[in-house]
Amino acid sequence: MSSIRSNPEGLSVLDRPNSYIGKTVPRPNLDRLLQGRGCYVSDIELPRMAHVVFVRSPHAHAKIVSIDAAAARQMPGVNAIVTGKELAAVITPWVGVLSHLKGLKSAPQSAIAVDRVCWQGEAVAAVVATSRAAAEDAAECVAVEYQALEAVTDMRTALDPATPVIHASLGDNLAFERILDAGAVDQAFAGSDAVVEAEFVFGRHTGVTLEPRSVVADWNAAEARLTIYQGTQAPHMVQNIAALHLGLWEQQVRVVCKDVGGSFGIKVHIYADEMATYALTKLLRRPIKFVADRVESFNTDIHARDHRCKGKIGVNRDGIITAFEIDDLTGIGPYSMYPRTSAIEANQVVNLVGGPYTCKNYRARARVVFQNKNVMCQYRAVGHPIACSVTEGLVDLAAMKIGMDPVEIRRRNLIADDAYPCASPSGLRFEQLSHHASLAKIVEMMNYQALRAEQAELRKRGVHRGIGVASFIEVTNPSAAFYGVGGAKISSQDGVAVRLDAQGSVICQTSITEQGQGSESLTAQIVGSALGVSMDRVRVILGDTDATPYGGGTWASRGAGIGGEAALQATKILRRNILDVAAAILQSAPAELDIVDNAVVSAGDGAPRIDLSELARIVYFRPDTLPPGIQPELMATRHFVPREYPFAFTNGVQAASVEVDIDTGFVKLLKHWVVEDCGTIVNPQLVDEQIRGGVVQGLGAALFEKCVYDEKGQLTNANMADYLVPMSGEMPDIDVGHVVSPTRESELGAKGAGEAGAAGAAAAVTNAVNDALKPFGTTITEIPLTPQVILTALGRI
Amino acid sequence: MKASAFAYARATSVANALELLAVHGEKARVLSGGQSLIPAMNLRLVAPDLIVDIGELAELRGIAVRGETLVIGALTRHADLLKSSDIVKCAPLLAAAVAHIAHPAIRNRGTIGGSLAQADPASELPACMLALGASIVVRGPGGEQRMAAEDFFTGIYETRLAAQDLLVAVELPLARRGSAHFFQEFARRHGDYAIVGLAAQAALQGEGFADLRLGYFSVGDKPVLAKAASKLAGVAITPALLAEASDALSHELDPHGDQQATPAMRRHLAKVLLARCVASLLNRPDLHIGGVS
Ligand SMILES: Cc1cc2nc3c(=O)[nH]c(=O)nc-3n(C[C@H](O)[C@H](O)[C@H](O)COP(=O)(O)OP(=O)(O)OC[C@H]3O[C@@H](n4cnc5c(N)ncnc54)[C@H](O)[C@@H]3O)c2cc1C
């Protein structure tokens, strides 16, 4: 394990005089966004720009017999109508597999369907016109003749011999299977005082970003360059893929990512309609805009979490957990998503189940099957909510079985805070976690004993409250182990360049991106702190492959931990370079100087020596006055990627207090608590709001959100009235506390915080609801916990 | 999600609006608050050739007490109902109900006329009209007529309004001394259409009801004025009697199933509402099922 790197200046960045690290400071982009001066893709208007609307399949599975666009071509404002076959001339198909996910298979997917559609909503033709409205008018006139094919919809029968195989070339509907067997599971179950089993069912849901997916693609034939304006989390990944499939060099593709209205993992993938838009601009030689509407978003934005997972836990009377076993099944739609694949979620479930606990006996099977539904892929906290709900649901069932308090059983099984480094049965390596400190803290924050007393008192009066607890671990700061080792050109390293401008301000270019979580702010905070300049003198540039270093972007809770460390290291070099020049100008030694508040000062007494603006003036305009042999370098670049640990695991615990109306099945969320440990906290408010935002998405999963498909593969609630996103009116207060165990892989010590909230919220609520229902002898292991589900479980209807 | 092309006319008077509707018939649509019509057009569920915007017809807006009648103009917005002291005094049930319609932005535009003409079976206001014994005032080519709310709603999104008709106002009897109301709905989130709801108006007498009108919504293809209520009027209410009325209600209702609830669940929730309504109106916690809520 690496130790804290020695600091050439002998100054820890965290205790510098004007440090912004660890402070809640306003985000630099706030005024711009609040004054309506943000620039989202739909704000971009280019000369000669046309709009594309996709004719989408109404069938889940069908042969395309014919496409008659003659009438539509005559409609006012129509530029072109392009089919999948025609588009194939400019863009090649792709297959979403990764070599480290052994056995994962998928079929070639085209930008626009050719001959066959595999889910309701897949594009069959592109209509390009002068406005979105004109394109929609024409799209209604494109006559597509389909021959319906049998749709594979139920994941439980997808592998049956009688079920049609969606892609004949693959032989069956099994995309991926993973089996893990650690310790001595059978022996452990046999020797347990009690064994409990349950099947956990999760509703398929989706991310519902406020701003839908949008692209403006502009092929400049004269320059032979493609510019893609897109709300994406990974500009360099988009650059690589667009170039690869359009037959271009990466340097011929520029990806510009301006403001993004939420992403949550939805915008980290390569979608067929976006690829089609890149191809259309090349084919038609004019800028093309695609902005998904809400119905399209529901039908084509990736879905997630559609799992059925059988779980089994062994426990002894003293509360010690003896073994975990799971059998997970998930249906991912007709293709594995490109390029991150749709096997990662199930793979994560296998990795993470039982993760917080000392138990070494663990067996798992996960199967990933194809179906004729929209594609599933990575969405905030990939796999974590499944793994956490299964694990924590089983732990509560075990506690109930032996009559032990849910907090107590966790106390007896969580990995000890001084047991690190250590590894999980699935091979995950933990550098330093703080399960016990976190549990102790949350018990205190929620006043657990008092809540239990109140619960007992109210129960006598027919009021049914429940308390639920869920410990969790979270994957953050991924190294190349996530995607790179599997052959995907998705960078796990990030780069930052910082330079002093001619007035002594700092320009910082970073490869991480901003989608609202505060990447821009945390970068400026780190640069300002490390250099000794005020934040308003730091300008951060992100989201442009022409203007930033090469890097991964913002996903998998990596922005602060990886991009932040690159910013810190780059700034330290710049600082050293500035002090070298200052020493030359001042005839001093770098070690005797420091930078505080935009000026070089004496390290000893803080006396001002030279303003950065004056230093910059000399360097840029009067270099002739510098001593001979001095060539100032007021720009520095550093990259960073974790190397010791494949992932920086974080941990935490969530708790929920709920009230169940046993006559109506309605659940009222009374309060929610989270304690998490993301290491060094750069900006407490940003971290807390990341946690709260994630919790709200988890609460959505617990109570509201579900993509409802019928047996024919039709998504029946693809609108904001029927697909229930969590809204503020139903949300409880969410108290957030922290334990801080910095990672020693970086000097900054920051791990990720973006997904912890989503990881454990549903588990805590489900456990709370089951706690409330305890007097009725029923347990529910299905989410969302709708009134219908609860009333049914209670036998009321 | 763009509406297909349509022509637009801003009506200058009620007569002008009626003229336009007479000429264009089924091809025209009245635009009031637009909170139901515009989303439907953007989803291309409806594609009228002509929109007749009645938004400027001041004569259709406003709340007034005329003798024993409360008159509410068709263009009166949900937000106006919520703020009006006349409503609080003369028809407090409406004030209670309107708070459950959607969200402030929608209540600022949506109108009572639009809501009643839309006749969504899950809407609050149509059920209130049943409970309050309202008359719907309609003007058409043949002049003005009044329809009892009970006859007005004929099915899902269906009323007795013809394509040439304009709903101009509703008339309600003023709340009398001894009257009481109850409003509750079960919705998954604040502002959502209800899974089941109840708008009830009662005349109290002694320990019981002289009259009880139960307007259920979201229990079928149109709002229902429950006949089971008659079992509870003019008698001393016992748990046994309430159970009997509850059974009758259950037989009377023929609710639909959807993604939120099966018919059985709707029946169950309607019965829960009945018990809560009676317990609350008579201040009899013993009749309330399900503890405090
Ligand atoms: C997100 C959202 C949530 C909502 N939630 C609820 C809810 O919980 N409960 C609820 O009750 N409603 C809800 N609504 C609907 C809202 O209350 C509408 O305001 C109402 O249904 C229609 O009123 P409007 O004035 O907007 O009518 P419009 O949308 O203008 O018209 C609706 C229909 O009525 C016809 N029409 C309108 N006025 C007249 C008239 N004077 N004469 C003849 N025909 C006429 C129109 O031609 C059209 O067909 C919601 C709406 C939205 C967008």
Q: What is the pLDDT of residue B289?
A: 64
Residue nearest to atom 7 of ligand 1 (CA): B101
CB A746 within 8 A of CB A7: no
DSSP type of residue A8: T
Single-letter amino acid, residue A632: P
CATH code for the domain in which residue B32 is found? 3.30.43.10
Which parts of B133-232 fold into alpha helices (H)? 149-152
Given B127, B156, B173, which residue is the final one in a domain?
B173
SS3 A609: strand
Counting Cα atoms < 13 Å in the Cβ hemisphere of A376 gives 27
Q: Are residues B134 and B231 in the same domain?
A: no
Q: What is the pLDDT of residue B288?
A: 78
Mean pLDDT over residues A277-303, rounded?
98
In chain A, which residues have their Cβ closer than 8 Å to the Cβ of B195?
787
B161 and B64 share a domain? yes
* Cα separation, A175 vs A332, whole angstroms: 9
Q: Which of B259, B273, B286, B292 to mutate to test the interface with A (most CBs of A within 10 A)?
A: B259
CA distance A580 to B159: 84
pLDDT at A9: 38
B166 and B131 co-located in one domain? yes
Q: What is the pLDDT of residues A494-520, one digit of tens each?
A: 999 999 999 999 999 999 999 999 999
Nearest by CB to B189, from A462, A717, A729: name it. A729
In this structure, the answer to whether residues B136 and B209 fall within a common structural domain is no
The yes-or-no verdict on residue A2 having pLDDT over 50 is no
Q: Is B266 found in the same domain as B190?
A: yes
B93, B190: one domain:
no
What is the value of ipTM here, to two decimals?
0.96
Nearest-neighbour CA in chain B from A293: distance (Å): 6
pLDDT per residue over B163-199, tens digit each?
Answer: 999 999 999 999 888 999 999 999 999 999 999 999 9
pLDDT at A7 over 80: no
Judged by CB atoms closer than 8 Å, whether chains meet at A663 and B272 is answered as: yes
| Residue B111 in domain | yes
In a domain, B277, yes or no: yes
CATH, residue B162:
3.30.465.10
Question: Is position B230 within any domain?
Answer: yes
From A310-319, A588-597, B264-273, B283-292, the region with the lowest mean pLDDT = B283-292
Percent of chain A with pLDDT over 70: 98
Give the gyration radius of chain A's Cα atoms.
28
pTM above the 0.90 mark? yes
Q: Are residues B23 and B73 in the same domain?
A: no
CA-nearest residue, atom 21 of ligand 1: B115
pLDDT at residue A257 greater than cutoff 60: yes
- Return left, alpha or beta for A553; rule: phi > 0 is left, psi -120 to 50 is alpha, else beta: left
The pLDDT of residue A792 is above 70: yes
Residue found under tokens 């000062």: A601
Residue to mutate (ligand 1; options B8, B32, B38, B128; most atoms within 8 A of CB): B32
The CATH code of the domain that includes B206 is 3.30.390.50
Please give the pLDDT value at position A1: 29
Q: How far apart are CA A230 and CA A208, in angstroms?
A: 17
Domain-located, residue B44? yes
Could you tell me if B123 and B75 lie in one domain?
Answer: yes
* pLDDT tens for each residue of A569-607: 999 999 999 999 999 999 999 999 999 999 999 999 999
Q: Which of A658, A667, A715, A797 best probes binding to B when mutated, by most B CB atoms within 10 angstroms?
A: A797
Q: Judge: A797–B262 Cβ closer than 8 Å, yes or no.
A: yes
β strands within A574-624, DSSP E: 593-596, 599-602, 608-611
Is the domain of B186 the same as that of B168?
A: no
Q: Is residue A11 predicted with pLDDT exceeding 60?
A: no
| All domains of chain A in start order, with CATH | 3-38+493-640 (3.30.365.10), 41-149+212-260+266-300 (3.90.1170.50), 383-475+647-793 (3.30.365.10)
**How far is Cα B182 from Cα B202, in angstroms, rounded to an integer?**
8
Please give the Cα distance from A348 to A269 (Å, whole number): 18
> What angle (nearest 5°) sits at the alpha carbon of residue B251, between those of residues B245 and B257?
125
Distance CA A745, CA A565 (A): 10
For residue B155 the two structure tokens come to: 């099915």
DSSP codes, A425-489: TT--EES---HHHHHHHHHHHTTHHHHHHHHHHHHHTT-EEEEEEEEEEEEES--TTTTGGGT--
Strand order in the sheet with A733-738: A464-476, A648-660, A667-677, A733-738
Question: How would residue A16 be classed by pLDDT, with cut points 50, 70 and 90?
Answer: low
Indicate if the pLDDT at residue A17 is higher than 80. Answer: no
Per-residue pLDDT tens digits for A750-787: 999 999 999 999 999 999 999 999 999 999 999 999 99
Decide: B217 in ligand 1 pocket, CB within 6 A.
Answer: no
Characterize the bridge pairing of strands A253-256 and A205-206: unpaired
Range of the domain at B262: 179-281
Kindly report, residue by residue over A210-246, the tens digit of the pLDDT.
Answer: 999 999 999 999 999 999 999 999 999 999 999 999 9
> What pLDDT is recorded for position A15?
58
Tell if the CB–CB gap between A791 and B293 is shorter than 8 Å.
no
Query: Given a cut of 90, is residue A742 above it in pLDDT?
Result: yes
Check: CB of residue A548 under 8 Å from CB of residue A708: no
Q: What is the distance between the alpha carbons of residues B135 and B114, in angstroms, rounded to a whole number?
A: 15
pLDDT at B291 over 50: no
B189 neighbourhood in chain A, CB within 8 Å: 704, 724, 726-727, 729-730
- Residues from B contacting A (CB-CB < 8 Å) are 1-5, 43-44, 186, 188-193, 195, 259-262, 264-265, 268-269, 272, 289-293
Q: How far away is chain A from the Cα of B190, in angstroms, using its nearest Cα? A: 6
Q: Report in angstroms the alpha-carbon separations of A107 from A39, A65, A334, A341, A483.
A: 37, 21, 8, 12, 19
User: How high does pLDDT run on average in chain B?
Assistant: 96
Is residue B293 domain-resident? no
- Number of structural domains (chain B) is 3
pLDDT at A128: 98
Is residue B293 predicted with pLDDT exceeding 70?
no
Contact yes or no for A741/A676 (Cβ under 8 A): no
Per residue in A36-68, pLDDT (tens digit) is: 999 999 999 999 999 999 999 999 999 999 999
pLDDT per position as a tens digit, A477-489: 999 989 999 999 9
Residues B42, B81 within the same domain: no
CB < 8 Å & 24+ apart, contacts of A451-456: A451/A657
Distance CA A23, CA A27 (A): 11
How far off is chain B from A265, nearest CA to CA, in Å?
A: 24
Q: Is B123 in the pocket of ligand 1 (CB under 6 A)?
A: yes
A293–chain B Cβ distance below 8 A for any pair: yes
Q: Provide the pLDDT for residue A19.
A: 83
B114 and B185 together in one domain? no
Asked whether B234 and B208 are in contact (CB, 8 A), the reply is yes
Same domain as B219, residue B198: yes
Which of B77, B115, B130, B222 is the best mutation target for the ligand 1 pocket, counting ligand atoms within 8 Å of the beta carbon and taking the most? B115
Residue B287 inside a domain? The answer is no
Q: What is the pLDDT of residue A18?
A: 72
Distance of CA B42 from the midpoint of ligand 1 (Å): 14
Residue A12 has pLDDT above 90, yes or no: no
**Measured between alpha carbons, how far is A353 from A391 in angstroms, rounded to an integer?**
6
Q: Within a domain: residue B288?
A: no
pLDDT tens per residue, range A130-187:
999 999 999 999 999 999 999 999 999 999 999 999 999 999 999 999 999 999 999 9
Share of chain B above pLDDT 90, in %: 96
- The alpha-carbon gap from A112 to the nearest alpha carbon of chain B, in Å, equals 20
CA A466 to centroid of chain Cα atoms: 30
Q: Does residue B141 lie within any of the structural domains?
A: yes
**Which chain B residues have a beta carbon less than 8 Å from that of A717?**
259
Residue B5: DSSP 8-state: P
State how far the Cα of A681 lies from the Cα of A685, in Å rounded to an integer: 9
